[in-house]
Amino acid sequence: MRGPRAQVGSASWIADERACALQIAQAEAEEFSYSVRNELDWLNEHMAGIFDENETNLAETFKTPGKLRGKTPRTERLTKAQEPRVPLSDEPAGPS
Domain enclosing residue 39, as ranges: 30-62
CB of 6 closer than 8 Å to CB of 12? yes
Write out 42-78 in H/E/C secondary structure: HHHHHHHHHHHHHCCCHHHHCCCCHHHCCCCCCCCCC
Please count the structural domains in the chain: 1
| pLDDT given at position 73 | 62
Closest CA to 43 of 51, 31, 53: 51
pLDDT digits (tens, 9 = 90+) for 31-85: 999 999 989 998 888 888 777 766 666 666 667 666 666 666 666 665 665 677 7
Find the Cα–Cα–Cα–Cα dihedral 90, 93, 94, 96, rounded to 10°.
-160
pTM: 0.42
pLDDT digits (tens, 9 = 90+) for 60-74: 666 766 666 666 666
Instruction: Tell whether 53 is covered by a domain.
Output: yes
Instruction: Tell whether 56 is covered by a domain.
Output: yes
Quote the distance between the C-alpha of residue 64 and its chain's center: 26
